[in-house]
Structure 1
């Protein structure tokens, strides 16, 4: 089953790719590798939610933010590779804007990881880091970047 069909079966649609907020590109191709710039979650109106996990948002809410961010990353992957069926996720870096004593960063970033495996199957499994941050741009709760391989 194609990745596009899996998205439909999950009742999901890819978000529109968003123009970078500064002097960088959405992704950079190097051979068959693609380095995706960090993205954060978007509200339905396109705005970015703001706040700290452990204070303003629960772990469960942050999981959904990471899942939402994953949809944006999948859109960038599709743009870079031409098809999600030609994508293998290699590495994620998940950053969580959290209070200092927060320790559930991996549970938050699972929102993105779980989505990738649900949509891409084995090609969605990846190496990963999930870390806490004192702040993120725009006070967004989650930012995730990825490295993918474009398959022949």
Structure 2
């Protein structure tokens, strides 16, 4: 079973790839490495999910936000690859949590994205990871994740 079938089994669909909010692109190739720009959680209408984790957003809610950001990453990867089955491995995931200064559960939040990648991509979804807290994120998002993926370049 391929990644897109696994998404269906999980009851998930990929969102449209969000336009970049500045002078950058959603993804960039460097040889066989696909660099995916940072993505955050968004509502169906395209607005960002906002808040400060540890103040007005719980760890459980933020974990779901990280999963949503992971869907955004997968959507960008599909746009770059045409088929998520071309992903050989998620090499590195970096997750940032918009949190109060005393917050320390960053790994639990970013696990929402990490678990999604494993659930959808199987062993190829296992990755090295860094997670940390920040004082703010663009658009006041609760989380932002970026990834480096090793894949078959669609142009060969």
Identify unmatched segments of 5+ residues in structure 2: none
The corresponding residue for 2:7 is 7
4+ long deviations beyond 4 Å: none
Paired residue total:
152
Q: Structure 1 length normalisation: TM-score?
A: 0.98
Matched residue, 1:151:
152
* 1:82 Cα offset (Å): 1.8
Structure 1 residue 151: Cα displacement? 3.2
CA-to-aligned-CA distance 1:54-105 (integer Å, 9 cap, x gap): 0010000000000000001000111112211111210000000000000000
Hey, what does 1:43 align to over in structure 2? 43
**What TM-score, normalized to structure 2?**
0.95
Distance 1:4 1:91 in 2: 21
**Residues 3-152 of structure 1 correspond to what in structure 2 (within 5 A)?**
3-87=3-87, 88-151=89-152
**Which stretch of the first structure deviates more once superposed, 73-82 or 106-115?**
73-82
